[in-house]
């Protein structure tokens, strides 16, 4: 292949890669004109027809903001943490980190009329984005998770009959570590259930002092036992829905209701079978900052402050970050005896002058590629602004 042909192929690949790199979908919103309170409530009541349920119905949160802070910037803000327990069971057994979205939030919001709020929008965090945050790359599990979410979308559209749609996207990357995972070692208790109950009381009391609210609680170990579904991989597994009212008012009630797709935060706890260690994990606030379009520096600083207080609370409870623990030694398998391969030498020789020409061409190609990447990014920026 000639040098110019190689260049055309490479540049084509760069264009495709550059246009797709570092972008994702936050949420696919559907809209209904006006304020469809009755329709939303009726839709939530039908979740059980597809195997879902609403763990909580936190409706008209904007009213609570007004009562507490005397600020009204929204006509409607509803959170419906939803879960398909039977589907999530198989996923959590394979990977406990699926608890970060067990449940996940079905959000509904409407801005004030003066802010162009003639439509109520509803939707949830994009399935692919949730999978990226969870960090599970197994194709079969991803397929099962996305089919589960698509089942919810089908019901919402059928019941709400939306007349509008808009997709909120983000440029850039998720955090390098979207989940914060910590672990606490403990002495073997006489009764694991008593230990868990005592810990939950201590946990809830500490977070209450830090002005957090437990907006929901789901004991999946108990739920699956009640359904006669095997869940023996864990001695305990539960999910708390964590909310900080000042934090949510600052974000959702001041220009960024779309960030509500991340709320309330599902904090998942589990004890692996026959192990004296309690694990906790949750999606960090850095995910919000990287994806929701929040630009206000004061708001971001406040969000990070509250985020830090969560980790500090878990540290106070005796947890340490998993990534701070020494890595376990991995015994490498012995290398297989490699077969000797006799390579035939080419009869053609490359002269030093030809080798120099190739180096020059490669250097020129690199320069052109870098310029092309910059031009494509500039074009993309202009398109996004339009």
Tens of pLDDT along 159-190?
Answer: 999 999 999 999 989 999 999 999 999 999 99
Output the pLDDT for position 325: 84
Q: Work out the pLDDT band at 367, boundaries 50, 70, 90.
A: low
What's the Rg (C-alpha) of the chain? 26
Distance CA 370, CA 112 (A): 46
| Beta carbons of 261 and 124 less than 8 angstroms apart | yes
Q: Which CATH class is domain 24-324?
A: alpha beta
Run of H or E residues at 84: none
Helix (H/G/I), strand (E/B), else coil: 253: coil
The tokens for 26 are 């936050």
Distance CA 160, CA 154 (A): 10
Output the pLDDT for position 301: 98
Distance CA 221, CA 332 (A): 36
Q: Work out the pLDDT band at 16, boundaries 50, 70, 90.
A: very low
- Between 11 and 121, the more confident residue is 121
Question: Does position 15 have pLDDT exceeding 60, yes or no?
Answer: no
Q: What is the pLDDT of residues 33-66, one digit of tens each?
A: 999 999 999 999 999 999 999 998 999 999 999 9
The tokens for 263 are 């709320």
The strand pairing partners of 107, in sequence order, are: 79, 123
The tokens for 49 are 């027809």
360 by Cβ neighbours in 10 Å (0-12 / 13-18 / 19+) ranks as: exposed
| Beta carbons of 37 and 68 less than 8 angstroms apart | no
The DSSP bridge pattern shows strands 74-83 and 53-54 to be antiparallel
Question: Does position 330 have pLDDT exceeding 60, yes or no?
Answer: no
Q: Work out the pLDDT band at 117, boundaries 50, 70, 90.
A: confident
Q: What is the pLDDT of residues 211-238, one digit of tens each?
A: 999 999 999 999 999 999 999 999 999 9
Q: Where are the domains of the chain?
A: 24-324
List Cβ neighbours of 60 (8 Å cut-off, separation of 6 or more).
76, 77, 78
Query: What pTM, to 2 d.p., does this model score?
Result: 0.80
Q: Please provide the distance, in angstroms rounded to a whole number, between the alpha carbons at the two ends of the chain.
A: 39
Question: Does position 354 have pLDDT exceeding 80, yes or no?
Answer: no
The strand pairing partners of 170, in sequence order, are: 24
Q: Work out the pLDDT band at 339, boundaries 50, 70, 90.
A: very low
Distance CA 130, CA 143 (A): 13
């Amino acid at each position: 292949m000639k040098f110019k042909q190689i260049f055309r192929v490479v540049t084509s690949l760069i264009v495709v890669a550059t246009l797709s790199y570092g972008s994702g979908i936050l949420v696919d919103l559907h809209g209904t004109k006006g304020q469809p309170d009755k329709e939303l409530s009726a839709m939530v009541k039908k979740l059980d027809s597809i195997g879902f349920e609403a763990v909580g119905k936190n409706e008209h949160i904007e009213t609570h903001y007004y009562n507490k802070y005397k600020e009204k910037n929204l006509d409607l803000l509803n959170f419906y943490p939803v879960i398909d327990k039977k589907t999530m069971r198989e996923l959590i057994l394979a990977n406990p980190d699926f608890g970060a979205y067990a449940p996940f939030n079905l959000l509904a919001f409407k801005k004030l009329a003066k802010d162009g709020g003639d439509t109520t929008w509803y939707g949830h965090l994009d399935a692919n984005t949730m999978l990226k945050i969870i960090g599970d790359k197994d194709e079969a599990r991803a397929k099962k998770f996305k089919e589960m979410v698509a089942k919810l979308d089908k019901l919402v559209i059928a019941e709400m009959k939306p007349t509008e749609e808009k997709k909120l996207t983000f440029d850039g990357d998720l955090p390098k570590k979207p989940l914060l995972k910590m672990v606490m070692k403990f002495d073997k208790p006489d009764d694991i259930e008593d230990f868990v109950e005592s810990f939950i009381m201590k946990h809830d009391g500490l977070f209450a002092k830090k002005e957090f609210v437990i907006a929901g609680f789901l004991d999946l170990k108990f739920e699956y036992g009640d359904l006669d579904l095997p869940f023996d991989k864990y001695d305990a597994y539960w999910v708390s829905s964590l909310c900080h009212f000042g934090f949510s008012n600052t974000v959702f009630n001041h220009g960024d209701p779309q960030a509500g797709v991340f709320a309330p935060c599902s904090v998942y706890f589990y004890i692996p079978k026959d192990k004296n260690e309690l694990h906790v994990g949750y999606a960090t606030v850095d995910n919000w900052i990287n994806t929701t379009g929040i630009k206000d520096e004061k708001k971001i600083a406040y969000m990070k402050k509250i985020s830090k207080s969560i980790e500090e609370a878990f540290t106070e409870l005796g947890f340490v970050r998993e990534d701070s623990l020494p890595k376990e030694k991995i015994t490498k398998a012995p290398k297989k005896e490699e077969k000797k391969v006799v390579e035939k030498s080419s009869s053609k020789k490359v002269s030093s002058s030809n080798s120099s020409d190739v180096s020059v061409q490669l250097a020129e190609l690199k320069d052109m590629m870098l310029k092309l990447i910059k031009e494509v990014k500039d074009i993309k920026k202009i398109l996004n602004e339009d």
